């Protein structure tokens, strides 16, 4: 695997964004709206309750982490969709481009776009609402790592699904974060869920992040082994998603599906 093809995939996305404000604005606009909305909700809850719970840290912090995960996933899928919409697959894979290089380019693009969103969120949440992550200490590293890896895994998985089912299936991609959020306990402990939902939640790496975050904010100890299990689980999902994408790509090449790929349908 060479670095130049990977950089070329990422550079293509950079040129697309640089030439189109409609592509760059959503990277910042939606996360800014979320932070402002939930920031004022947190401030309001702090003003009307006397439970001692800091909603700015627990609620707004959860929103920031979840938005970061969502930005990572959509960063990967949007880079893939650009090739879908422009019908560019034949041009790409007629070149000596390895599928691992293509996936790495998508991941690099998703990393860059998610970091833009994360910087925008922190730049607003810190001065405007007093949200500070210093209390999390070194736990911030595995928190971000878990969300980043799982976002990459879901982005690759969603891209594989669209490659196999056709461009119309992209509408199945956008609800994925919303579908997962009840199971991972973004705003509440997993213990509030029925047993079967808790079982599903323990299979999803973000659940370990939000459980640990609430424990740290409340001053309770959290078993580090469980959090690192979330890291390992997220890394495993990245490998499985990459394997699935490669398998579907090879099927598309063998069956001629790739050549028939169009913006309307895949027969």
SS3 of 126-181 = HHHHCCCCHHHHHHHHHHHHHHHHHHHHHHHHHHHHHHHHCHHHHHHCCCHHHHHH
**Which contacts qualify for 95-98: CB closer than 8 Å, 24 or more apart?**
97/5, 98/1, 98/5
- CB-based burial of residue 117 (10 Å sphere; 0-12 exposed, 13-18 middle, 19+ buried)? buried
For residues 111 and 75, what is the distance between their CA atoms, to the nearest angstrom? 7
- Are the C-beta atoms of 164 and 92 separated by less than 8 Å? no
**Whole-angstrom distance between the N-terminal and C-terminal Cα of the chain?**
32
pLDDT at 201: 92
| Token code pair at residue 18 | 């640089």
Low-confidence ranges of the chain (pLDDT < 50): 263-267
Q: Are 9 and 109 in contact (CB under 8 A)?
A: yes
Helix H or strand E encompassing 210: helix 206-217
The pLDDT score that the predictor gives to residue 267 is 44
Contact yes or no for 56/129 (Cβ under 8 A): yes
Residue with tokens 């996933």: 73
Q: Residue 134: what pLDDT?
A: 61
Query: Which token pair is 164?
Result: 């196999």
pLDDT at res. 51: 66
pLDDT of the residue at 264: 47
C-alpha distances (whole Å) from 240 to each of 16, 150, 200, 221 are 30, 11, 18, 32
Residue 60 confidence (pLDDT): 83
d(CA 106, CA 80): 7
Nearest to 212 by CA among 201, 203, 223: 223
User: Would you tell me how many other CB atoms lie within 10 Å of the CB of residue 200?
Assistant: 16
SS3 88: coil
How far, CA to CA in Å, does 77 sit from each of 116, 159, 163?
16, 6, 11
pTM for the model: 0.87
Residue 234: the pLDDT is 94
């Amino acid at each position: 695997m060479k670095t130049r093809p990977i950089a070329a995939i990422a550079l293509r996305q950079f040129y697309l964004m640089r030439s189109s404000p409609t592509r760059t604005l959503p990277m910042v606009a939606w996360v800014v709206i979320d932070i402002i909305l939930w920031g004022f909700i947190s401030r309001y809850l702090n003003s009307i309750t006397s439970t001692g719970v800091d909603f700015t840290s627990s609620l707004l912090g959860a929103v920031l982490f979840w938005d970061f995960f969502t930005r990572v996933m959509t960063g990967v899928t949007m880079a893939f969709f650009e090739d879908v919409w422009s019908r560019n697959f034949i041009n790409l894979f007629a070149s000596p481009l390895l599928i691992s290089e293509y996936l790495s380019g998508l991941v690099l693009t998703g990393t860059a776009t998610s970091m833009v969103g994360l910087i925008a969120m922190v730049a607003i949440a810190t001065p405007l609402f007093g949200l500070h992550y210093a209390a999390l200490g070194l736990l911030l590293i595995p928190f971000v790592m878990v969300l980043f890896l799982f976002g990459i895994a879901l982005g690759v998985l969603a891209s594989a699904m669209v490659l196999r089912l056709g461009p119309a299936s992209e509408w199945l991609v956008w609800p994925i974060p919303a579908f997962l959020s009840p199971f991972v306990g973004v705003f509440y402990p997993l213990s509030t869920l029925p047993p079967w939902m808790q079982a599903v939640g323990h299979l999803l790496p973000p659940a370990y992040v939000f459980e640990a975050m609430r424990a740290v904010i409340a001053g309770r100890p959290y078993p580090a082994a469980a959090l690192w299990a979330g890291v390992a689980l997220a890394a495993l999902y990245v490998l499985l998603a990459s394997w699935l994408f490669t398998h579907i790509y090879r099927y598309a090449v063998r069956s001629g599906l790739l050549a028939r790929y169009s913006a309307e349908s895949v027969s």
